[in-house]
Amino acid sequence: MIAYVTVGADDIPRAKLFYSAFLPALNYTLSEGPEGLSYALPVPAGQTPTLPDFYVKPTFDGCPASAGNGAMVAFEATDQGQVRTLHAAALTAGGSDEGQPGFRPAYGATFYVSYLRDPQGNKIALFSSNPTDPSRDP
């Protein structure tokens, strides 16, 4: 099981604007400190945490942060409407478009996805596979 995912950022306030545009809508809460941003899902009393957590941090070695070639982090939305809404919010908050919300020919009939880059260049996907949403034609 993946416990957490970390992406680097040189401009933490700019990263906060971007990620806070959509992660709270996916129930992530933000903790902020000198070490950067920590987004986590709430933990009901007496239960174990729902993983993974998502961290946005300055680099440990002090060199500029860079996006991984081929690396991507995907967040699951509740439905296609939320994918569209959160994609638009992330663009408004400084992200760049890497693929408008929609179906992709190579994926299943209910996999609805959008792609973004955060201000640092990290690739982010927002997707839904909600079976109650309309599907694409097979």
Per-residue pLDDT band for 130 (boundaries 50, 70, 90) equals: very high
For the stretch 27-38, pLDDT in tens is 999 999 989 999
Each residue's pLDDT tens digit, 110-129 = 999 999 999 999 999 999 99
The alpha carbon torsion through 61, 95, 104, 50 (nearest 10 deg) reads: 60
CATH number of 4-58+73-128: 3.10.180.10
- Sign of the four-CA dihedral 11, 65, 70, 39: negative
DSSP string, 84-114: HHHHHHHHHTT-EEEEEEEE-TTS-TT-EEE
Q: Where are the chain's structural domains?
A: 4-58+73-128
Q: What is the pTM of this model?
A: 0.91
pLDDT of 37? 98
Say yes or no to pLDDT of 61 above 70.
Answer: yes
Computed over every residue of the chain, the mean pLDDT equals: 95
Percent share of the chain, pLDDT over 90? 86
